[in-house]
Structure 1
Amino acid sequence: MITSHAVRAAVHDSFDRVVNDLTELVAIPSVSAAGHDPAQVSRSAEHVAALLRDAGLEARVASVQGPNGPGRPAVLAHGDGPTGSPRVLLYAHHDVQPVGDPDKWRQADPFVAERRGDRLFGRGTADDGAGVISLVHALRLAAELNGGQLPCSVTVFIEGEEEVGSPSFETFLETYREQLDADVIVVADSSNWRVGVPALTTSLRGVVQVDVRLEVLDHALHSGQYGGPVIDAVTAMCRLVATLHDERGDVAVDGLVSHPAAAPGYPDYPESDFRNDAGVLDGVELVGTGDLTARLWTKPALSVIGMDVTPLRVAGNVLAPSCTARLSLRIAPGQDPAGALASLEAHLEAHTPFGAKLTVCAGELGPAFDGTAQTPAGRAAHWALTEAFGTEAVNIGQGGSIPFIATLKETFPQAQVLVTGIEDPDTRAHSEDESMHLGDLERIVAAEVLLLAGLGGAVAD
């Protein structure tokens, strides 16, 4: 039987190995986005499979055909627990985001992990390298502390294309459905409330992404000779984008689900803490109405995440004939992505200025997730997190989207789904200077060992 004290001691004693393995994984630039070397994603998959084999599991690299070609390689691994023990599916992903602007990193190479104080910096240190490595070492230690056998039967699925929307995810689930079927699914790819305070994520917003194109001319024109009667496409786009929010900053698209108060039991989020966590500049006002947590988790949000305009270095005195903007709409739990897309398209059509030609091209449509921690697995996770962190675990929502979680729930409706935290408010996932708090990483590994032991009935205290 496994005790909390023994778990914490074992993780502490082997933590240098945990950090070394994370450093080695970060060194593989496994960027799954188009235009980057796909061989590095394959290399990362093989590396993760080797780590899982070293932890005592049978592991292999697998992929399926996606909608636009072969899917990026994932890792499947399995270890048997006692006969009749629960089947647990552990999920993380080994692909990472591009580095962004190299000049905004404090280190010369984002793929060379650098320790500064109590944090390890580098692309993928948190999202989701820490998720991968924490699972590897939790499995290793759970078996070691349980007499050489895992306390429950475990299948591990380490995806290789989460950062590009998981295009072959559904096909992968169908192809390997029998192997992936589980009583409990644990996703290691969310956030904790803050450093030292663990959390389970019980709701996630979904996502609708569209490219919006406006055309006003069949060619560029001299801005002095023709400006006045004709508005340039960039200005037209600015006027259209400005209609997406009301004067208070709330999304102004009719037909979207919106909950002005977050679920009961969610923690309060003082504005001062949010401003500090988000890096909001002094004097910049927060927008929107309702509880701050609702604005983050249960109300829609709409952002312009890209726009094709003429760069200043090549700008001339011309009227731009066309402009394209990419919009990212985060939808609240309970919102159908197709319905949200229809509402957004209707709004854009109704507010297109001056008769400009509008084209809307839909991209990613990802469902929201609305779960609960009031399940046997949820209560086991709360206990494990509280024991490992020494602080009471909380339930939170997330403003970001992990659409495949809803897909997992639909595919395995009998499974209890747990979304666990890796990141913290200063992780800066997807941004420059991404980092992982090493104290939290140690506690996360311990919590995962305790969760596996608890689910398998192998806890002595």
Structure 2
Amino acid sequence: MTGEQAVALATAYFDSGELRRILARRIALATESQRHDDDAGILLYLEQEIMPPLRALGFELQLFDNPEAANRPFLIAVRIEDPSLPTLLSYGHGDVVFGDDENWRTGLSPWELSEEGDRWYGRGSADNKGQHSINLAALEQVFQARGGKLGFNCKLIFEMGEEIGSPGLTAICQQQRELLQADLFIASDGPRLNATQPTLFLGSRGCINFRLSIHARDKRLSLWQLGGITQQSRNPTG
């Protein structure tokens, strides 16, 4: 199959409405990780929505208990076609923030996918159910276009606690570092420059959060009164 034929196949899949139906079904599951009155629904999302399509693609699946947050499990899926091939690792999360039902417009629900113009709305459509649904659909399209193979090894990790700070994610990655080894990591869960321009970040050196306190003088001075004759602490001094 040529590249043009593969693109045509994927386009036909989207135009068929199947991706929309899948996303609507996933959005209907209120996977609010901040709540604990429906923990069964958190696991159901992985078991009902993520594991079956991956199993159909020949992935080996493992569920792991969260070492830091009960009922917020991790799913790791692995498909090794040939150890000599490059390995892709991808990430997704199935939990969402509160639905905030009362603040949606009359007639709309966070748990029902709605369409206005060329945009779809529903809790999780932009974070992260939409992204990982697209990624899973893309894997399926590659699998079909290449006659039942991906042409690379693939691993995925899904969590269900990203919206509460990803408890246990660092620990599970450390515990399963061998299982998660890969040559390339793709995480479709980040900001864009704007709504119409996809943004590709090619690398990150990590980040650190800290609080900085500066004591620049021994008494309080009013910049409103003294103006520019007083140097502000945040200005460089070198």
Q: TM-score, normalised by structure 1?
A: 0.43
The verdict on how the C-alpha distance between 1:195 and 1:8 changes in structure 2, with shifts beyond 3 A counting, is farther
Which runs of structure 2 are paired with 1:25-424 in the superposition (5 Å)? Answer: 25-47=26-48, 48-66=50-68, 69-70=69-70, 72-100=72-100, 102-201=102-201, 336-337=208-209, 340-341=210-211, 343=212
Cα distance, 1:151 vs structure 2: 1.2
Cα distance, 1:178 vs structure 2: 1.1
Equivalenced residues, count: 215
Residues in 2 aligned to 1:97 and 1:152: alpha-carbon distance in whole angstroms: 34
Give the match's secondary structure for 1:158.
strand
The verdict on how the C-alpha distance between 1:191 and 1:4 changes in structure 2, with shifts beyond 3 A counting, is farther
* 1:118-153 per-position Cα deviation (integer Å, ceiling 9, x unaligned): 111110012000122112111111111112111110
The verdict on how the C-alpha distance between 1:345 and 1:172 changes in structure 2, with shifts beyond 3 A counting, is farther
* 1:286-328 per-position Cα deviation (integer Å, ceiling 9, x unaligned): xxxxxxxxxxxxxxxxxxxxxxxxxxxxxxxxxxxxxxxxxxx
Give the match's secondary structure for 2:88.
strand
CA contact (8 A) 2:58 2:79 kept: yes
Give the match's secondary structure for 1:151.
coil
Give the match's secondary structure for 1:157.
strand
- Structure 1 unaligned blocks of 5 or more: 205-332, 352-461
Equivalent AA in structure 2 for residue 197 of structure 1: Q
Give the match's secondary structure for 1:70.
coil
Cα distance, 1:42 vs structure 2: 1.2
CA contact (8 A) 1:94 1:158 kept: yes
* 1:81-124 per-position Cα deviation (integer Å, ceiling 9, x unaligned): 34411111011111111023523345442111122221111100
Cα distance, 1:158 vs structure 2: 1.2
Q: Whose strand fraction is larger, Structure 1's or Structure 2's?
A: 1
Q: TM-score, normalised by structure 2?
A: 0.79
Residues in 2 aligned to 1:4 and 1:136: alpha-carbon distance in whole angstroms: 19
- Structure 2 unaligned blocks of 5 or more: 221-238
Residues in 1 aligned to 2:167 and 2:84: alpha-carbon distance in whole angstroms: 34
* 1:12-38 per-position Cα deviation (integer Å, ceiling 9, x unaligned): 111121111111110110010145522
CA contact (8 A) 1:64 1:70 kept: yes
Residues in 2 aligned to 1:40 and 1:346: alpha-carbon distance in whole angstroms: 50
Equivalent AA in structure 1 for residue 156 of structure 2: V
Give the match's secondary structure for 1:136.
helix
CA contact (8 A) 1:87 1:153 kept: yes
The verdict on how the C-alpha distance between 1:171 and 1:107 changes in structure 2, with shifts beyond 3 A counting, is farther
CA contact (8 A) 2:101 2:109 kept: no
How big is the alpha-carbon RMSD for the aligned residues of Structure 1 and Structure 2? 2.7
Give the match's secondary structure for 1:177.
coil
* 1:200-244 per-position Cα deviation (integer Å, ceiling 9, x unaligned): 13578xxxxxxxxxxxxxxxxxxxxxxxxxxxxxxxxxxxxxxxx
Cα distance, 1:70 vs structure 2: 2.7
The verdict on how the C-alpha distance between 1:152 and 1:120 changes in structure 2, with shifts beyond 3 A counting, is same
Equivalent AA in structure 1 for residue 67 of structure 2: Q
Equivalent AA in structure 2 for residue 97 of structure 1: V
* 1:375-430 per-position Cα deviation (integer Å, ceiling 9, x unaligned): xxxxxxxxxxxxxxxxxxxxxxxxxxxxxxxxxxxxxxxxxxxxxxxxxxxxxxxx
- Determine what percentage of the aligned residue pairs are the same residue: 24
The verdict on how the C-alpha distance between 1:336 and 1:127 changes in structure 2, with shifts beyond 3 A counting, is closer
* 1:360-387 per-position Cα deviation (integer Å, ceiling 9, x unaligned): xxxxxxxxxxxxxxxxxxxxxxxxxxxx
Equivalent AA in structure 1 for residue 51 of structure 2: A
Residues in 2 aligned to 1:109 and 1:346: alpha-carbon distance in whole angstroms: 50
Residues in 2 aligned to 1:14 and 1:31: alpha-carbon distance in whole angstroms: 30
Q: Which residue of 2 aligns with 1:20?
A: 21
